[in-house]
Amino acid sequence: MRPDRLWQREILEQVRRRRSCVVKFVLPLVLTAPLLLLHVPESVRADAFTLLLIFIGVFGTAVGLIRARESGMMVRLAVLPASPARLTGEYLLTHSLFDGLQFLVPLLLIAAPRTRDPFTLIVLGLTFFMVIFAANAIGGMVAVAAGSSGEGHLFAILSVLVVMGLSGLFRDIEGRLDPGIFLPFHYFRDVLLSSAFPIPGIVLSLVVVAALFGTTLLISPRLFRML
């Protein structure tokens, strides 16, 4: 394949890095294995899996973009006629897709014992990808804000902690649902836990994801600035 667009180039590079590709697909299975094999409360399982998605999305994108900027690649891309928003959008969508593929099998393994209802699985899949898109968009914002790799790691950790707190993850050791306010992470966790999916939650989650993505694209020209 000869890459015409940035998203094709990203896919090609991901596929070419075989070792990294294998690690990326094995790691989610390894990380979720304790959640599947051990007797952990279902709320902890849902919390941990949601957190894992947030963590991978935020860190993967933030570190990838910061590294590209530090290598000088963003400056090279900045002199192309394509807009920063288009380049950033293609990058985020491609990496979101990869993150989704990596965690698809663990998701099915976690969800399968709870439900086989196709409609529930579709909603679960939708909210799953919304979580990943949102996490990648936050990773993009982290990369814009950070001036170096060190700052990037710090901002990524802070972002994950804030998102985790706002989403109501790991708040209630009694197993009761603790109301979080930050969609779509909170909503995904609820769907994973209870197989209930109030429609307004999906719509609101979509709005939040779109807002996060839109904000990242809006501030993306700063990603291509000279350090």
Residue 78 Cβ, how far from another protein at the closest point, in Å? Answer: 6
Q: Is 13 in the site for another protein (CB under 8 A)?
A: yes
Q: Is position 24 an interface residue for another protein (rule: CB under 8 A)?
A: no
CA–CA distance, 161 with 155 (Å, rounded to integer): 10
Helix, strand, coil distribution of the chain in percent, nearest 5: 80, 0, 20
CA distances from 60 to 118, 140, 169, 207 (A): 30, 10, 21, 23
Residue from 30, 76, 175, 207 binding another protein (CB under 8 A) = 76
Distance CA 136, CA 159 (A): 12
Binding positions for another protein, 42-71, rule CB under 8 A: 71
| Residue among 4 and 174 whose Cβ is closer to another protein | 4
Q: CA-to-CA distance for 44 and 46, rounded, in angstroms?
A: 5
The interface mask with another protein, positions 84-113, x = CB under 8 A, is: x-----------------------------
- Which residues contact another protein by CB under 8 A? 2-5, 9, 12-13, 16-17, 71-73, 75-76, 78-84, 221, 226
